[in-house]
Amino acid sequence: MFKGWFRRRGAQDAKDAAANSAHLIDLRNIVKTFESAAGSFTALKGVSLTVDRGEFVAIIGKSGSGKSTLINMVTGIDRPTSGDVLVAGTPVHTLSEGQMSIWRGKHLGIIFQFFQLLPSLTVVENVMLPMDFCNMYRPRERRERAMQLLAQVEMTENAHKLPSAISGGQQQRVAIARALANDPPILIADEPTGNLDSKTAEAVFKLFEELVAANKTIVMVTHDNDLARRASRSVIVADGEIVNQYLANALPKLSLDQLITVTRQLDRLSFAPGQPIVHQGTPADYFYIITRGQVEVIIDQPGGGEIIAEVLTQGQYFGELGLLDDNTRRATVRAAHDGGDVEVVALDSAEFHALLAACDGTRADVERIAGQRRSNGMAA
Ligand SMILES: Nc1ncnc2c1ncn2[C@@H]1O[C@H](COP(=O)(O)OP(=O)(O)O)[C@@H](O)[C@H]1O
Ligand SMILES: [Mg+2]
């Protein structure tokens, strides 16, 4: 996890990396250390995260866990101590301040908890500001476009008021219109509903859902777990690290602290199509969760030949049976032949048993699955 902490890379390397990224947002091994008189504090400890076009990602986690620091890397509001930040093909962390603010104004819409409208400008002037700043759209089109955006968020009648004359929920709608001014592909929101009552928060969230349906990509930090569940994916940040989402989904009874501990223990492994991961008859040593692709569970036949007993896919786990029973693999598991590389995360035997001992709910879940597989004779 801490690999690459001290590696220094040049701007050209970062540009090459950006050209190679298939993701709209690609954070690679980000470390952020704040230096202060009191000493240094590492708020992000080597996190990696990708977001693809059209996703609606919720970032959740306790206060102080590093959520704002993480999204400030994407917006370029702050820079990583090490690691690469690639957004829409641009290595954001290598831009100068001047380049950064123009780039940000064109590619990102940013929405804050406290709206941050300019108090001395009217609502419509606030919405025009990003167009003026980035010199987008012809000057005489800007007011009309701002009015259209205000209509979209149902703020037309407030267009000529000052921000102080409208409610918090209304100010946040205006801030969303402002974020959309230059038609950016990505919206980044830091606790956008954190200062709103639940009814107003719901209305703002509905707007986000409509924007995702209209092809925007949204990354939203939120304290509200009910809202987070309605996003297409949740990313849990804890203590400057990202909890492995496949682990969290596969073993949902683990507490947040247990998820952090186990995430740190996971080994990441990759297998070429057709390559075996475990062999029937050999000692069992690891528990596996599939994070990409599919695997085939194969039972070797006494007379030679094999039966593909089951195909398991991303998010499912295997290898628990051998660890629970007599420590011998009952089946061979290999990366499926058709498809790309298979990626798994693995937990060793001692870590697996410690985990089951620490969480009764997880033990019960894993034993139930193992029991079903044992009776089918189709597992490793
Ligand atoms: N500019 C800074 N200087 C020093 N410490 C900071 C700074 N910004 C954030 N931190 C620390 O980094 C940690 C993560 O902060 P933050 O990302 O704001 O958390 P969150 O958004 O999850 O509440 C906190 O302990 C915070 O005190
Ligand atoms: Mg925050």
Instruction: Summarize pLDDT for 148-173 with one digit per residue, the tens.
Output: 999 999 999 999 999 999 999 999 99
Ligand 1 close to Cβ of residue 43 (< 6 A)? yes
The pLDDT value recorded for residue 377 is 75
- The four Cα atoms 163, 208, 219, 14 give a dihedral, to 10 degrees, of -90
Ligand 2 center–CA 356 separation, angstroms: 33
pLDDT at 21 over 80: no
For ligand 1, pick from 41, 70, 81, 223 the residue to mutate: most ligand atoms within 8 Å of CB: 41
The pLDDT of 369-380, averaged and rounded, is: 86
The pLDDT of 217-245, averaged and rounded, is: 92
CA dist 64 and 22 (Å) reads 31
The pLDDT value recorded for residue 105 is 95
pLDDT at 192 over 80: yes
The pLDDT of 233-258, averaged and rounded, is: 91
The pLDDT value recorded for residue 26 is 96
The pLDDT of 196-206, averaged and rounded, is: 91
Ligand 2 center–CA 71 separation, angstroms: 9
The pLDDT of 75-92, averaged and rounded, is: 96
CA dist 330 and 343 (Å) reads 21
Ligand 1 close to Cβ of residue 65 (< 6 A)? yes
2 pLDDT band, cuts 50/70/90, is very low
Distant-in-sequence, close-in-space partners of 105: CB < 8 Å, separation ≥ 6: 130, 133, 134, 136, 182
Percent over 70 (pLDDT), the chain: 95
Percent over 90 (pLDDT), the chain: 81
pLDDT at 187 over 70: yes
The pLDDT of 165-185, averaged and rounded, is: 96
By residue count, the chain amounts to 380
* Residue whose pair of structure tokens reads 């902490």 in the numeric block: 5
375 pLDDT band, cuts 50/70/90, is confident
End-to-end CA distance of the chain: 28
Which carries the bigger pLDDT value, residue 361 or residue 299? 361
The C-alpha angle with vertex 9 and arms to 8 and 10, in degrees rounded to 5, equals 130
Q: Are 34 and 40 in contact (CB under 8 A)?
A: yes
User: Is 114 in a helix, a strand, or coil?
Assistant: coil
CA dist 14 and 177 (Å) reads 33
The pLDDT value recorded for residue 15 is 60
pLDDT at 47 over 80: yes
Average pLDDT, the chain: 92
Ligand 1 close to Cβ of residue 216 (< 6 A)? no
pLDDT at 9 over 70: no
* Residue whose pair of structure tokens reads 């990202």 in the numeric block: 242
User: Is 19 in a helix, a strand, or coil?
Assistant: helix
Q: Are 158 and 166 in contact (CB under 8 A)?
A: yes
The 10 Å Cβ neighbour count of residue 52 is 14
pTM of the model: 0.81
Domains assigned to the chain: 53-77+93-242 (3.40.50.300), 248-376 (2.60.120.10)
pLDDT at 4 over 60: no
The pLDDT value recorded for residue 20 is 66
The pLDDT of 326-350, averaged and rounded, is: 93
Ligand 1 atom, smallest distance to 69 CA: 17
Ligand 1 close to Cβ of residue 45 (< 6 A)? no
Q: Which of 68-77, 228-237, 326-335 has the highest mean pLDDT?
A: 68-77
Query: Quick one: which H or E segment has residue 188?
Result: strand 186-190
